[in-house]
Amino acid sequence: MNIVQKIKEGADEVSEAIDDCRKEATEKAVHKVRTRCRRLEAVVSAVLATHPGGPKELRAAGFAVTRKLKKIRRGAGAVRDLDIHLLLIKEMAGKSPDGATAKLQKELTRERKRDAVVMLDIIDKHQKGLENRAAEFLQLVEKLPPRGRQVDTAALAMAEFLEASAAMPELREDNLHDFRKRSKAARYVAEINLRSPRSARLAKKLNEIQDAIGIWHDWDVLTAEAKDTLGKKGAPLVHEFASRRTTSYRKAIKVARQSQEQIVRRASASSNGR
């Protein structure tokens, strides 16, 4: 795997996604900004994790890149979340939403427009700095010896996941979303090199965790949004959302616990087999 090429491609893809989003902040464009920022962030973080002791210039540039990426990604994240919530409402209500549903759709659409403006302001503020720091980071990685440009994505992703599992050995409603975020970060590291069977297997399992918990989290947030927006008049709709939240939580906790156990057991067996 050529990590230098991964960085170059990742930076180019982020710039392309941002330019597309500037033209029109569609659901697809916003999602692309999010995912491409995450992919580049994973590559940079993997390089930094491989060189925990320096060089100082490399680490400074790398941390600067990830800070810029996180700001842009989080700005896009607010819009992306609303896109998902609007899609869930549309799928549930169909072509003839009732009064409460229509009111919620209207409010979330208004909120989406506001957040899209904020997102574009964040992009304006950080895009140039991101591109400059990414170019600097790329040059510093190119100066590393060939061996220093080797990254074991499977090992790094597994270490990230095991650290998350150690911090949250008992998964519950109050830590499930944090576990998803940590699992997602590990997944993106694993996906840097899908030609590695170990990385590909781990990425697939982590994606299952991410998807299951993500569905629950979307219904959880949407239930709270409906309650705040509609008040008592929206009780039937809030009740329907809450029911879907409960169902998706049961599935999410089951998938997360089973997958966590399987991955940890596999890592332990692999370690003992050395």
CATH of the domain at 118: 1.20.120
What is the rounded CA–CA span in Å between residue 272 and residue 260?
Answer: 18
* C-alpha to C-alpha distances, 118 to 19, 79, 112, 125, 161, nearest whole angstrom: 16, 9, 10, 11, 32
Q: Is the distance from CB of 258 to CB of 265 less than 8 angstroms?
A: no
- Residues 33, 1, single domain; the answer is yes
- Residues 114, 236, single domain; the answer is no
Q: Residue-wise pLDDT tens for the chain (274 aa)? A: 789 999 999 999 999 999 999 999 999 999 999 999 999 999 999 999 998 877 899 999 999 999 999 999 999 999 999 999 999 999 988 767 789 999 999 999 999 999 999 999 999 999 999 999 999 999 999 999 888 788 999 999 999 999 999 999 999 999 999 999 999 999 999 999 999 999 999 999 999 999 999 999 999 999 999 999 999 989 999 999 999 999 999 999 999 999 999 999 988 877 665 5
Range of the domain at 221: 152-274
Instruction: Please identify, among 99, 126, 148, the residue that sits at the C-terminal boundary of a domain.
Output: 148
Look up the pTM and report it. Answer: 0.92
- Residues 134, 13, single domain; the answer is yes
Number of C-beta neighbours around residue 106 at 10 A: 11
- Residues 177, 221, single domain; the answer is yes
- Residues 18, 92, single domain; the answer is yes
Q: Report the domain count for the chain.
A: 2
Q: Is the distance from CB of 7 to CB of 141 less than 8 angstroms?
A: yes
- Residues 48, 141, single domain; the answer is yes
What is the rounded CA–CA span in Å between residue 273 and residue 267?
Answer: 10
- Residues 123, 233, single domain; the answer is no
